[in-house]
Amino acid sequence: MTKVSPLAPAAFPSLPVVGGVRFATAKAGVKYKDRTDVMLAELAEGSVIAGTFTRSSTRSANVLDCEAKNGRPATGRAAILVNSGNSNAFTGRAGVEAVETLAAAVQTVTGIDRHRVFTSSTGVIGEPLPHDRIAAKLGELAQKLSVTGAEEAARAIMTTDTFPKGASTTIIVDGHPVTIMGIAKGSGMIAPDMGTMLVYLFTDARIAHGPLQATLRELTDRTFNAITVDSDTSTSDTLLMAATGASGVDVTRSAAFTKALHGVMLDLAKQVVRDGEGATKFVEVNVTGAADDADARKVAMSIANSPLVKTAIAGEDANWGRIVMAVGKSGARADRDRLSIRFGEIEVARDGWRAPDYSEEDASAYMKRQELEIGVDLGLGSGRSTVWTCDLTHGYIDINADYRS
Amino acid sequence: MTKVSPLAPAAFPSLPVVGGVRFATAKAGVKYKDRTDVMLAELAEGSVIAGTFTRSSTRSANVLDCEAKNGRPATGRAAILVNSGNSNAFTGRAGVEAVETLAAAVQTVTGIDRHRVFTSSTGVIGEPLPHDRIAAKLGELAQKLSVTGAEEAARAIMTTDTFPKGASTTIIVDGHPVTIMGIAKGSGMIAPDMGTMLVYLFTDARIAHGPLQATLRELTDRTFNAITVDSDTSTSDTLLMAATGASGVDVTRSAAFTKALHGVMLDLAKQVVRDGEGATKFVEVNVTGAADDADARKVAMSIANSPLVKTAIAGEDANWGRIVMAVGKSGARADRDRLSIRFGEIEVARDGWRAPDYSEEDASAYMKRQELEIGVDLGLGSGRSTVWTCDLTHGYIDINADYRS
């Protein structure tokens, strides 16, 4: 049994019911034994579904199918069906058939139009998906649908995750409450430039597909696309959001809604990092003073993905020279002699040289914390970027040198 | 004491004397105790020096100085002075002064024009270089210069290396023998897009700076720029080549010379991978059928740098799904349904799907080898690329979570 990440939240949050959303889970035995590995979410009539997806050129049949269905008219109910244990990626025509078979089976059992059935699969790549085992559980799933099943759903979609991930918030828009709730999975093969992992967001707000999709795209860049565990990008990353409209509150132009949604997405994204394979440290990288935001992001990601930076953090070594290295290799415009680096409030380097009052003792003490901030100022312009990552430890090797067996 | 890499050659090669080149080493105590950490190479009058260097934007004072000196007129003798234990990178004005002070000290002791003194430093980043300790050894070094000191020189420039690296060849050009010999160091912070590591090549051939520099640049792309250990690019990577002309043989238009030099450079580059930090497997990645060579290189490097691919190799897991993932994230043009993958001669995937006669047993048996080949054909065009890497093991974490202490 894998130990729960030391960075895990104390407890799974109490998730609110979202009007128009019901969940069910089952043990289909896709790969794992004696644990839930399938979840079905049913979404009320008229629910608007939007999503962001991995940009991998080898993305899975499920992702391609979700992309094709994204933006179709929001008539009738909808469903999201997810299995863990097998990603149905790189499974050729058999993978496409598995997705179509499952969507049709959901329609048969629940009456939901198969063009409104979104599926995700997560787990090993390249093995045929035993979709019959999942289809055999659809009757049970349809019967068990419950408005309080979100936590169980979060558990059913886990693979190497050591804890389920959920977040929610309720805000008041035009005097009425609107709820946003989400679940996510992800622990390894986590890197930017994608929709990311499996993330499902639900709200009872009313909003059309166009503005919802635009909001998701923008917020994904500042949340799920701003985290990295190991620089490896999944073939299956999917974020789907369902707006059921059950609250009757239109949020199309609500800045409060966008802010609240950003909060839930960032919470989930950080939970994914906190469950990074083998992670013992949670690290925020803040880059300022870049020529532009794109350069700042290059530097931040170069630091966050550097094996040498990440192993130094694991070893609690204030090895800021490796941060200099990561800035240098990033490809961003940088002037060594304007570069400043800090660990939290501790200035370690200024203007291309060790800070005059740098104390190795203070820096070493800081590195013993579980949550760290690395700050880099390039001294060139006003470009900035924040990304989140974790350290690289023996635990990562343990997990990934023996994942399939 | 670090154990020697299991991928190390059985013995250090017997290196030939190169006319016009003499070496000496000393224990200066820059950082290490009781081992040689400084080497001086003296190059005969008229020796032509060319080089390639890291493109990092935070490259060291030594690299900037070498770049400035590269291509100056080849009059009088020349020298290369290298220390291990401190990289003199990110040391601001003090770093520049250290380089100038050392070059001037070499001139004082040996009479070699300081503009013909090339220096390199390798080791920890951001610490002031104790250049006085090196300068104090110059008299001893000048006295000890010997034509047979190449192996000792290779040892003196090691940092986390577990074995010294040398290679040589002798060819016949126009009926006369010409010798090429080189030494290198490198084990971690090894990644492409640079000159790479510390590499010193020597030949008694006669060739002008222009053609030598052009040849080096081209061959570097196919050798040192085609290896990766951990995707991290050093601030100090330097390759210098000295052509003393002592053989009297002009090789300016000699294809045999270029081919021989390529062989020596590739030998040294592979030795660097064989000493990759924590490495237990040597891996060649061959990508064919890409839209162009640049795309092939993107895919090859994406595979060779993927932590998930490298940990699977460490675990002897034939996890080819992770190769699919690495192709997908590479940014190169790829069509999932034309993609084929093989381990050595074992075809594992064809046309976007597991190969019809794929045998997990055969693939698993193959993965137990110490030397592996991963072949990927994209099925799109004639672009190809070969890169070399190693696996990612607990040894890498051990070495890098505790390098400075």
Residues B206-237 have pLDDT tens digits of: 888 888 888 888 888 777 777 777 766 666 67
Cβ–Cβ below 8 Å for B315 and A351: no
Nearest to A401 among B90, B317, B321 (CB): B317
* CA dihedral over A52, A56, A61, A67, signed as positive or negative: positive
Residues A93 and A157: their CA atoms lie apart, in Å, by: 24
- What average pLDDT score do residues B6-21 get? 89
Query: Are B397 and A397 a contacting pair at CB < 8 A?
Result: yes
Check residue A53 and give its pLDDT.
80
A160 labelled catalytic: no
The ipTM is: 0.74
Closest residue of A to B324, CA-based? A58
Considering only the beta carbons, identify the residue of B322, B328, B397 that sits closest to A314: B397
Could A394 and B397 be called an inter-chain contact, meaning their C-beta atoms sit closer than 8 Å?
Answer: yes
Inter-residue contact B245 to B204 (CB < 8 Å): yes
CATH superfamily of A282-400: ArgJ beta chain, C-terminal domain (3.10.20.340)
Percent pLDDT > 90 in chain B is 42
Residue in chain B nearest A308 by alpha carbon: B400
Cβ of B308 and A400 within 8 Å? yes
Least confident of A256-260, B6-10, B385-389: B6-10
Q: Which of A56, A321, A393 sits opposite B126 (nearest CB)?
A: A321
Chain B CA closest to residue A194 = B329
What average pLDDT does the segment B64-81 reach? 91
- Mutation site, B295, B329, B391, interface A, largest A CB count within 10 A: B329
* Cross-chain residue pair B349–A126, CB shorter than 8 Å: yes
Quote the pLDDT of residue B41. 93
C-beta separation of A196 from A206 below 8 A: no
Q: Where are the domains of chain B?
A: 21-272, 282-400
CATH number of the domain at B21-272, please? Answer: 3.60.70.12
Return the pLDDT at B234. 64
Residues of chain A with pLDDT under 70: 1-2, 188-197, 231-236, 402-405
Interface test with A, best of B380, B390, B397 (most A CBs within 10 A): B397
Smallest Cβ–Cβ distance between B321 and the set A125, A324, A330 belongs to: A125
What local confidence, expressed as pLDDT, does residue A223 receive?
79
- Report the pLDDT value the prediction gives residue A1, as an integer from 0 to 100: 45
Q: With H, G, I as helix, E, B as strand and everything else as coil, classify residue B133.
A: helix
CB pairs under 8 A between A and B: 218
A278 contact residues in B (CB cutoff 8 A)? none
pLDDT given for residue B5 in this prediction: 83
> How far off is chain A from B79, nearest CA to CA, in Å?
27
Say what the pLDDT of residue B146 is. 95
